[in-house]
Amino acid sequence: MNIITAWNLKGGTGKTTTSFNLAATYAAQDKKVLVLDLDMQANLTSFFDADISKHKRSKPDIDQVIRGGIDIRKAIYHSRFDNLDFIKGSNDIMFLELADIYMLGKHLATIADDYDICVIDTHPDASLLTENALAISDLVLIPISLDGFSRDNLNLVIREIIDLESKCGEINFKIFVNKLKNLKSQKIVYGDLVKNHDYPVLETSVSDYSGIQSALLKHKPLFMHRSKSIVNRDYEDLADEVLQIVEVE
């Protein structure tokens, strides 16, 4: 099972939207996918409200799995989307205390043979829980918006990754541009990131598109909401590029 984690210290960069659309894209490609919500706001879980409500008895959330030592299999929901399962998030997870940096990995290891891909959405922080996700990931995907704060924020992100690597070894991470607009100011920021700082930026970018928000409101992946949108191709290209990276490494 390849683990892909969306993370950034800055909120509003599109981690949750990226996680959901990536997972749905892989599932549509007949890959068995597990989605894990580690954000204490549990926004990713809301995409699966319809699936949760179908169950007469609620299943454990990720907080109960880790804190209570519950078998992770008992927390897995099958979604209405073929090949796509999920474990719901928890608003209490911010108070979760972990014994070590590999506790989450130990739980996921028990179901590693059941899935091709695990997509993890995280809270924009550097908590021990977030570090658990980063430490076990085959790829940490960092979405950014090309605004004036991108460079300063990335400096903090890279510093946190370097610090974490001293505990768990090398972390494979890539940056990708989200909410891309054809603006001169964005081109200047992008040029600075790539040429002057040599950040590992993916070739694929995801364009800014109003249809993404309407898809989110309907709890649908974009390809099911606006199938002819050019942004669908962006997500497909992103999914392909990410998969090539994790499969090679």
Domains of the chain and CATH, by start:
2-248 (3.40.50.300)
Beta strands 77-78 and 173-177: pairing type? Answer: unpaired
Confidence band of 248 (pLDDT split at 50, 70, 90) = confident
Confidence band of 224 (pLDDT split at 50, 70, 90) = low
* pLDDT score, position 174: 95
Kindly tell me if the per-residue pLDDT of 51 is higher than 60.
yes
* pLDDT score, position 212: 65
* pLDDT score, position 179: 79
Straight-line distance from the first to the last Cα atom of the chain, in angstroms, rounded to the nearest whole number: 13
Give the Cα separation of 2 and 167 in Å (integer). Answer: 21
Give the Cα separation of 172 and 152 in Å (integer). Answer: 21
Residue located via tokens 């804190």: 67
Q: What are the distances in angstroms from CA 84 to CA 27, 79, 235?
A: 6, 6, 17
Kindly tell me if the per-residue pLDDT of 241 is higher than 80.
yes
Q: pTM for this one? A: 0.90
Residue 115 contacts residue 32 (beta carbons within 8 Å): yes
Give the Cα separation of 235 and 240 in Å (integer). Answer: 8
Kindly tell me if the per-residue pLDDT of 249 is higher than 80.
no
Higher per-residue pLDDT: 210 or 193: 193
Kindly tell me if the per-residue pLDDT of 18 is higher than 90.
yes
Residues constituting the chain: 249
Beta strands 84-87 and 77-78: pairing type? Answer: antiparallel
> Residue range 57-83: average pLDDT?
92
Please report, rounded to a whole number, the percentage of residues in the chain having pLDDT higher than 90: 54
The mean pLDDT value of the chain amounts to 86
* pLDDT score, position 140: 97
> Residue range 142-161: average pLDDT?
82
* pLDDT score, position 233: 86
Higher per-residue pLDDT: 24 or 94: 24
> Residue range 128-150: average pLDDT?
88
Kindly tell me if the per-residue pLDDT of 137 is higher than 70.
yes
At CA 54, angle to CA 48 and CA 56, rounded to 5?
125
* pLDDT score, position 222: 60
Task: Tell me the per-residue pLDDT of 169-208, one tens digit each, with 9 for 90 and over.
Answer: 999 999 998 877 765 556 666 666 666 667 888 988 887 7
Give the Cα separation of 207 and 244 in Å (integer). Answer: 21
Which distant-in-sequence residues (6+ apart) come within 8 Å of 245 by Cβ?
139, 172, 174
Residue located via tokens 């920021």: 189
Kindly tell me if the per-residue pLDDT of 225 is higher than 60.
no
Q: Which two tokens stand for residue 21?
A: 């659309």
